[in-house]
Amino acid sequence: MCRATPPPNCRYDLKAGNAILAEAKHLPLYEELVAKHKVDYIAGGATQNSIRVAQWIHGGKGFAAYIGAVGKDAYGADLKAAASADGVTTYYDEHADFPTGTCAVLIHDRERSLVANLAAAEHYSKSHFESDATQGVVKGAKVIYSAGFFLTHSHEVMVACGKKAAADNTIYAMNLSAPFLCQFFKTQMHAVLPFADFVFGNETEAAAFAENNGIASTDVEEIAKAIAALPKENTARPRHVVITQGAKATVCASSDGTVTVVATPAIPKESIVDTNGAGDSFVGGFLAMISKGADLKAAIDAGHFAAGHVIQRDGCTFDSSVKYVPAGAPAGGAAATA
Ligand code: ADP
Ligand code: MG
């Protein structure tokens, strides 16, 4: 992921808060960023961000593993190094023919606009998924999570993971991830949704989902309830739809009809460095606690903690010396501070 500030103007037709896939007209943007701006290179990928944060918040050695595709190049090596440094085991499908995916992150007034050039990331191979090593990780996982970006190229892999989770009554979680996925990848999204025990998204994605799925309401709680009520494969678990709204309260609607609303802790505007990776970090903190058997409120608290910490830093990074101590738990060691 490369990040530059300030951004070029809107010659590239970009919107604040949005995330899109690069089209031919966007390709010169990458060269322009490097040529005209001071660019920071930060390990990213929405799912890998969440997994790194989950490992940090969980704290247990070897808790989290990540599966995905990279190129056999320096950026691929950087991604692996970033994951290993945070204690995440990687199972990369390494391609000689495609470079590692990159994402231009343009930040303006603390809002981000993402332009992803998926490259190797959209060539995750069936043979890698079916390999013994990958299947071993999938089989052993208590929680499997994928951001929605995987829908653009490998939704069959998401369905296979969802089926495994349903058969074993383990947890499958996914993310709406971007408005364009709700609009242009509806078929793939609806193939995966029946397996989702947790669906994450932000308010913009919830609105896009509603608009493209005949949900008349514009109210986040009503939209979350409608997604929670969609058909579900594993009826032994309810579905929880968790919608974050930046500084506003997080709403979780569950298929049993309950709604949990948790206020987001305020962070002074001047302390926010950039909100890129906020949603990814929320998911990491949330799922780390779910994997420990925590309830929804405790999981949302951990999500808020992780996201609140990350947005006060550059990119999706965190101070790994900070240990998360859930409210009410004995603080045996370092205290949790955002
Ligand atoms: P996304 O990155 O998907 O747009 P959100 O903007 O909804 O996700 O943010 C996810 C989480 O990050 C929020 O639930 C909150 O914990 C934290 N967060 C984001 N923006 C702010 C903010 N301005 N003030 C406080 N917390 C924030
Ligand atoms: Mg946001």
Residue 320 forms part of a structural domain: no
| Omega within 30 of 0 (cis) for the link into 265 | no
AA letter at 143 = V
Query: Which of the following is catalytic: 93, 197, 274, 280?
Result: 280
Q: Looking at ligand 1, which residue's alpha carbon is closest to its atom 26?
A: 247
- Residue that the structure tokens 């043979």 belong to: 127
User: What ligand has the least distance to the C-alpha of 178?
Assistant: 1
Coil/strand/helix, residue 331: coil
Structural domain total, the chain: 1
Range of the domain at 254: 44-101+117-310
Residue 37 placed within a domain = no
Cα(148) to centroid of ligand 2, in Å? Answer: 16
* Contact by Cβ (8 Å): 143, 173: yes
Main-chain dihedrals φ then ψ at residue 39, nearest 5 degrees: -105, 130
Continuous segment of H or E residues that includes residue 20: strand 19-21
Exposed/middle/buried for 187, CB within 10 Å: 0-12, 13-18, 19+?
Answer: exposed
**Ligand 1 centre distance from Cα of residue 170 (Å):** 28
Q: Note whether residue 127 is domain-resident.
A: yes
- Look up the pTM and report it: 0.92
> What is the whole-number distance in angstroms between the Cα of residue 311 and the centre of ligand 1?
8
Whether residue 30 is contained in a domain is answered as no
Identify whether 28 is part of a domain: no
- Looking up residue 165, the CATH number of its domain turns out to be 3.40.1190.20
Q: In the annotation, is 97 catalytic?
A: no
Q: What is the pLDDT along the chain (338 residues), one digit of tens a residue?
A: 445 554 445 688 898 888 899 999 998 998 899 899 888 888 889 999 999 999 999 999 999 999 999 999 999 999 999 999 999 999 999 999 999 999 998 888 767 788 999 999 999 999 999 999 999 999 999 999 999 999 999 999 999 999 999 999 999 999 999 999 999 999 999 999 999 999 999 999 999 999 999 999 999 999 999 999 999 999 999 999 999 999 999 999 999 999 999 999 999 999 998 888 999 999 999 999 999 999 999 999 999 999 999 999 988 999 999 999 998 776 554 444 43
Residue 21 lies in a domain: no
For residue 337, is it within any domain?
no
Domain membership of residue 34 (yes or no) is no
Closest ligand to residue 264's CA: 1
* Mutation choice for ligand 1 from 57, 275, 301, CB with most ligand atoms inside 8 A: 275
